[in-house]
Structure 1
Amino acid sequence: MTTVIALVAVFGILVSVHESGHYIVAKTLGMRVNEFSLGFGPALFSSQWGETQYSLRIIPLGGYVRIAGMEMDKTNDPDAFPNRPLWQRFSVIFAGPVMNLVLAAVLYILAFGPIGTPTITTTVASTVPHYPAYAAGIRAGDKIVAVDHRAIGNWTELQKAIVSHAHQPLLITIERHGVKKTVTVHTRYDKHLKEYIVGIEPQVAMIHLGFFASIRSGVDYTVRLTGSWFVAMYHLVIGKSRFDLTGPVGIAVYVSQAAQDGLPYLVLLAAALSANLGLFNVLPIPVLDGSRLFLLGLEGVRRKAMDPDRENMIHMVGFVVLILFVLVVTYHDIVHFFHVGAAF
């Protein structure tokens, strides 16, 4: 039940925030919004409030805001989407992805601050019996402070030190009850992990930053994540990296696991998903926000709008292709996570 609630909450919040971006800007600019819908397909719930119909539909894989004139119907209504200035139309479309990035930043701020971020420390949670660390006398509660007399500040530095001593003994300095002690540890190659290890399981601590530090870190992390995403897309285009995309099934598996691990993990995952949803939507793929932004940019350069029928056809074809793409990704997710069938 917890998993189902987590899935509904995460998908619902991400989609509703995205669509709220379109909705709020459209209403602020005086456009008439005919419908605000979460999900696709037959309506489970529908209610008219003012000029807008609010719907909850059966397929929870997205949503939409239906603004008057957005279906490319020819109309002289000044409130209709096509009759608004270019910058207003651009703002309405761009607001969806922006809201997802804002949500990501807010969730990261909450994670770094009041909720807390799970952080791997250099304090030992346990040592594996008969492995090098255990044989050297390292036990749970020991804090690793140095390797070869060089200070170790975090778990990543410790991992690098272990890997760099693949065929050499390490001098590991531990602190136990305020007393420091140095022991010699030989690494062991693990066939399953395919790397050298010493048999240490680290403790995970919840780190809470202060008010201003959490805001700074949350915003900074979102900005760096955005930059890394575009770099990854560039590497994908030039063939430098492998195409690997997780679909709805894979996301559901990750959300389920995060929900079992606890609220901090779920919030961090939701933040990453929100950022990726916003960034994915700016790609110039028909039916996504990015394609509309591209066409609006083209209109600005040409000083002429694309023929409505042609634009409708582009989005219709794009929608069909996107559905097929989602089905393929979903199949690969099922093969990968549940080991059913064979990948192609």
Structure 2
Amino acid sequence: MIQIKNLSKLYQTKHQKIQAVDNVSLNIDHGEIFGVIGYSGAGKSTFVRLINRLEEPTEGSVVMHDQDITKMPANKLRKKRQKIGMIFQHFNLLWSRTVYDNIAFPLEIAGLSKAKRKEKVLELIHLVGLSGKEEAYPSQLSGGQKQRVGIARALANDPEVLLCDEATSALDPETTDDILDLLVSINKRLGLTIILITHEMHVIQKICHRVAVMESGKVVETGDVLDVFVKPQSKTTKRFVQQLNPLEHEKDKLSDFINDRDDSEVIKLHFIGNRARRALISEVAKKFDVEINILQGSIAPTQEGAYGTLFIEINGEKTILQNAIAYMKETGVEAEVVEHA
């Protein structure tokens, strides 16, 4: 487990003080993919650099496997950093070195023999899907291939933790998905703890188990990804969730599709996990004397199961409507009657 307690970073300039990270406390479990999301200037990149002391904290502690990183002398910190891999938005590769030599570089610094370096490098090249590219230079690679080299290099010393600072921000959507799939595969195969910094909710939705939302240096919300999706609490979190389904929080726009009869209700349904596969609308239409008009909806996979939202207009006699809504709730689906114009 990684225990982060009261972590802060204050920058003092000539004219002002800037609180980049403000009293952040988090526990990150071994083997999970933990996301930290925030808009530009939220402090998330500074936060991740405090974890391995690329930035020195003003106060607070980072305890990793019962070792307090923030109190380590320089010689012990250098050794500990070998067990904290890091990948970056702009790859940070050595442009004069081949793929093979980039991945071998941290092993050279660690003092591994040439034979052991070769064995490890070839294993990592295969792991990240770059077989055949050993002698290529970074200038000959696509963005996704460069990031795969960065990931392989970060894994060279068998780290306990992998820090990803906006690792997919410079990539196109298809390549982003490929890199995220690779990170999930590495997480499952190696049991590696991954802390992922991003400003994209799609990234959180696709691979993270839990998420912390940052704003102005503070964590304003944290929880399981599905819980945060279904019931976002802070204004910032609601804005991020809205990225995945822009209409979900604009209920007034549904009025263009509503019949708005006296005997109708508009219902917002949340489907979570296996419930997203259930033919609930068909069941309700067969079981109750109602008419159902599907207004709009979406479904997205997460690491903890599918998450879906569906807006429907349901017409029928008042008592029957109440029974139909009660039935939907009994199935484990969240059903909320929506006020509409």
Q: Normalising to structure 1: TM-score of the pair? A: 0.25
Q: Which has the higher helix share?
A: 1
Larger CA Rg, structure 1 vs 2? 1
TM-score by length of 2: 0.25
More strand by share: 2
